Amino acid sequence: MAPKFQGVDFYDVDALLSEEERAVRDTVRAWVDDNVIPVIGEAYVAGHFPTQLVPGMAELGLFGANLPEEYGCAGLDNVAYGLIMQELERGDSGLRSFASVQGALVMYPIYTFGSEEQKKQWLPQMASGKVIGCFGLTEPDFGSNPSGMLTLARETKAGWVLNGAKMWITNGSTAHVAVVWAKTGAIDDPESIRGFLVPTNTKGFSAKDQKGKLSLRASDTSELVLQDVHVPTEALLPQSAGLKSPLLCLTQARYGIAWGAVGAAMACYDEAVSYAKNRLMFGKPIGGFQLQQARLAEMLTEITKAQLLCLQLGRLKDQGKATPQQVSLAKRNNVNMATEVARETRRLLGANGILAEYQAMRHLANLESVYTYEGTHDIHTLILGQEITGISAFG
């Protein structure tokens, strides 16, 4: 049996966590050790999401864990929520992606923009993993610039009819319900974007898995096609209004990603340290050579910084003070950091580093997706640039 993961905590960050936060982290950590680590390499190579893990995640209460108990959720603070994401992504980014989509991109908009009936109908079922959701914002021709989307919703006598296509949708083919973002007004009016809850068995809705992915292989990514999809009036998320609504969801998910990336980096660092101590070359452990020590020192430094960044961001979020720009900084820094740590680990491991038996290459390949989704690294650079200078460099 593999040794249990002990975490990376050079600055006694644990002392800054509450007892509950640590307990939550430890529970998810143990669950990942027991249930994810033994199967994830194989699922990754086979190229499918390990759906058998969903009931276990639900039983622990991992879906929408920072939403209130009255809807069947765990009602945790944002730091505990972040620690869940950290531990899941220590297992695999695909697993964290699943939880991010379910919690931050589907349950969160239902909670924030939904009617009381919608919340009661969907949230408990999603918390218990009986209903799986996906989030359709990106389109084939509109990635970084979702305001240009072409998906349209038109009001009918009985409700709405949706037409369009969505691309790169996590959980798209497994989901029971899709949050679809569409323009209810003119094609050039992003203020008319609103969210719809579309059951995936509705006539005219189809999902096709994206084939040939070399990243996030243990996660389903699909293309959605909506062809004359009729939904009742109650499918509309009544409080959603304009592009800022999906962006608010993304801020939630990005917050979790900032933590998740730390988990992936910890997994790699842990692997790098153990390998460096055990692999003998030129008669001594490779960890005894300055070059490898520099690698490890750099990794530990960056992980420690990222940990503290997340923690303070979480505390600000709990006080209602975290800004989207602060979330951008954390997502941008931490995902980039984790990608570097994964790459350096992969290299430190030599030939073994390319195997699925080790974690580094899987994390490295995964993190290339994480680097791109939820606002690419570049886009977050521009968000910060605008925040700093007051000048938008987007268009």
Which residues of the shown chain bind ligand FAD in the complex (CB under 6 A)?
A: 101, 135-138, 143-144, 168-170, 216, 221, 369, 372-374, 376, 378-379, 382, 394
| Catalytic pick among 139, 302, 344, 374 | 374
15 binds another protein (CB under 8 A): no
Report which of 76, 170, 94 is spatially closest to residue 132, judged by C-alpha positions. 170
Among 17, 36, 43, 62, the residue binding another protein under the rule CB under 8 A is 62
SS3 category, 160: strand
Pick the closer one to another protein by CB: 30 or 158. Answer: 30
CB closer to ligand FAD, 99 vs 349: 99
| 19 has catalytic annotation | no
- Give the orientation angle of helix 78-91 with respect to helix 244-278, to 10 degrees: 50
- Three-state secondary-structure class, residue 294: helix
**Residue nearer to another protein on the CB measure, 69 or 155:** 69
Q: Left if phi > 0, otherwise alpha if psi is -120 to 50, otherwise beta: which for 241?
A: beta
Name the minimum Å distance from CB 105 to ligand FAD.
7
- At closest approach, how far in Å is the CB of 74 from another protein? 4
Decide if residue 4 touches another protein (CB under 8 A). yes
Give the residue with the Cβ less far from ligand FAD, 135 or 259: 135
Q: Give the Cα separation of 199 and 155 in Å (integer).
A: 18
In 10 A of CB 338, how many CB atoms?
34
Beta bridge partners of 222: 169, 209
Q: Residue 2 corresponds to which tokens in the numbers above?
A: 């593999």
In angstroms, the CA 93 to CA 90 distance is 8
Supply the minimum distance, in Å, between the C-beta of residue 103 and another protein.
Answer: 12
Q: How far is the CB of 113 from ligand FAD (least distance, A)?
A: 16
Decide which of ligand FAD, another protein, none touches 258; Cβ closer than 5 to 8 Å per partner kind.
none
Residue 60 engages another protein in binding (rule: CB under 8 A)? yes
Q: How far is the CB of 216 from ligand FAD (least distance, A)?
A: 4
- Ranges of H-type helices in the chain: 19-31, 37-46, 54-60, 78-91, 93-100, 108-113, 116-127, 244-278, 290-318, 324-348, 360-372, 377-389
Residue from 8, 44, 54, 61 in contact with another protein (CB under 8 A): 61
Please give the residue whose beta carbon sits closest to ligand FAD in the complex: 143
DSSP state of 96: H
Which residues lie near another protein (CB under 8 A)?
Answer: 3-4, 6, 19-20, 23-24, 27, 30-31, 59-62, 65, 69, 74-76, 80, 84
Q: Would you name the residues annotated as active-site residues?
A: 374
